[in-house]
Amino acid sequence: MRLLFQKLLNGVAIGSVYALFALGYTVVFSILRVINFAHGAIFTVGAYITYALTGAAFGKNGQLRNASLPLELNFWLALALGALGAGVLGVLVERLAFKPLRERGSDPLLTLVSSLGVAIATVNILQYLFGAENYSFGETLGSMRASVTLVGGELPVVIRTKQIVIFAVSMVMVVGLTLLINRTRTGKGLRAVAEDLTTARLLGIDTDRLIRLSFFISGVLGGIAGALIGLAGSFNHQFGVAIGLKGLAVIVLGGLGDIPGAVVGGLVIGVAEAFVPAEYNAYKDAVPFVVLLVVLLVRPSGLLGRAQVQKV
Partner 1 sequence: MLDFLNSQGTIYVSMVLGAVLGLSLYLPLLAGQLSLASPGFYALGGFVAAVMSTKTFEVKGSFPIHLVLVELVVAAVLCGALAFIVGLAALRLTGIYLALATIAFVEVLRVFTLNLELTGGAVGIFAIPQPFGTQLSYLWLAAPLLIIATLFTWRLEKVRAGRAFAAVREDELAAASMGVDTTRAKITAFVLGGVLAGLAGVIAAHQINTWSHRQASFDASIAYLAFVLIGGSRTFLGPVAGGLVLTYLPEWLREQAKHEFLPAWAAEFLRTGRFIIYGVLLAASCIFFPRGLITPELLRRIKRIGRGGSRPPEQKLRAEPEAVA
Using CB under 8 A, list all residues that contact partner 1.
Answer: 34-35, 37, 96-97, 100-101, 104-107, 109-122, 124-125, 128, 241, 244-245, 248-249, 252, 256, 282-283, 285-286, 289-290, 292-293, 296-297, 300, 312
55 CB-near residues (< 8 Å, 6+ apart): 68, 69, 71, 72, 73
Element of type H or E holding 309: none
The minimum distance between CB 161 and partner 1, in angstroms, equals 31
Check: CB of residue 203 under 8 Å from CB of residue 48: no
d(CA 212, CA 208): 6
The minimum distance between CB 268 and partner 1, in angstroms, equals 15
The number of angstroms, rounded, from the C-alpha of 55 to the middle of its chain's C-alpha atoms is 24
The number of angstroms, rounded, from the C-alpha of 299 to the middle of its chain's C-alpha atoms is 24
Nearer to partner 1, 149 or 308 (CB): 308
Check: CB of residue 218 under 8 Å from CB of residue 27: yes
The minimum distance between CB 111 and partner 1, in angstroms, equals 8
Nearer to partner 1, 26 or 163 (CB): 26
Nearer to partner 1, 110 or 304 (CB): 110
d(CA 8, CA 26): 25
The minimum distance between CB 50 and partner 1, in angstroms, equals 22
Q: How many residues does the structure list for the chain? A: 312
71 CB-near residues (< 8 Å, 6+ apart): 53, 55
The minimum distance between CB 148 and partner 1, in angstroms, equals 34
The minimum distance between CB 15 and partner 1, in angstroms, equals 18
Nearer to partner 1, 12 or 258 (CB): 258
Nearer to partner 1, 44 or 115 (CB): 115
The minimum distance between CB 291 and partner 1, in angstroms, equals 9
Cα-only R_g, the chain: 20
The span from the first CA to the last CA of the chain, in angstroms, equals 53
Nearer to partner 1, 182 or 308 (CB): 308
Selection from 65, 93, 72, 70 nearest residue 240 by Cα? 93
| Residue spans of beta strands (DSSP E) within 47-108 | none
The minimum distance between CB 131 and partner 1, in angstroms, equals 10
Nearer to partner 1, 98 or 135 (CB): 98
Nearer to partner 1, 45 or 53 (CB): 45
Element of type H or E holding 126: helix 110-130
